[in-house]
Structure 1
C-alpha cells in the first residue's frame, strides 16, 4: 500500500497498460491508401513511419484501431496516410497528446 511522505501530494506511479481505441474520421484516401497512428512511444512506432500502427478502414470514413499503451506515460501522436509505395502524408496541426489512464480509453477525432 502506498503512503505519501509527510507534506507530499504526489500520487503513486501508475503501472500497467491502457487499451486505447483510436477512431479518426478521414475521407481523403483512395484505393491503396491507409490511415495509421504514429507517435512518441515504442507502442506507437517511436516516430518511425515504417513502424506506424495501421488502422482499420472497415467503418470508412472512420478509421479504427486499439493499441495497448503504458498507463500514466504521456504520449504524443499524429495520424498519417500511407500508400503501397511508402509515400506518407502527415495530418496538419501540432502533435496530439494525452496520458493513458484506466483500463480502456477512447480517442474520437477528426483528421486535422
Structure 2
C-alpha cells in the first residue's frame, strides 16, 4: 500500500485508492487462510482437560488426561463438562486475540465494528 490516493499536487487518484483496497483485500484473504490453518489450545485444571480450535473458532478436538475423572461419578462428569466448555473458551479467546491482532495490522484498526471482520462487538466471521 505504497501508492498515495492523493496525488503530488493534492489531486485524488482513484486508481491508487482502488489498488490499495485490492491489496488490503488480498492481505485479508491470506491472513484468514493462515488463521484457518492455525490451531490454538486452551487448558484448564492444570492440563486435565484441553481443547483445540482453529483461527475461525471451530473446535478441532478435546483431550482429557487419563485417570483424572471417574466416569461413574455423576458430579465428576458434570465437572468434566464444565471444564470442556472452559477449555474451549480459553482456546477461542486465544484465537480471537490473534485474529484481531492480525486483521488489525492489515486494516489499521478499521475492522472494528465491521461485521465479519472480527473487531469490536460485531460478530466474528472467523
TM-score (norm 1): 0.30
Higher helix share: 2
**Which of the pair has more CA radius of gyration?**
2
Q: Could you say which structure has the greater relative contact order, defined with CA pairs below 8 angstroms and 6 or more residues apart?
A: 1
TM-score by length of 2: 0.28
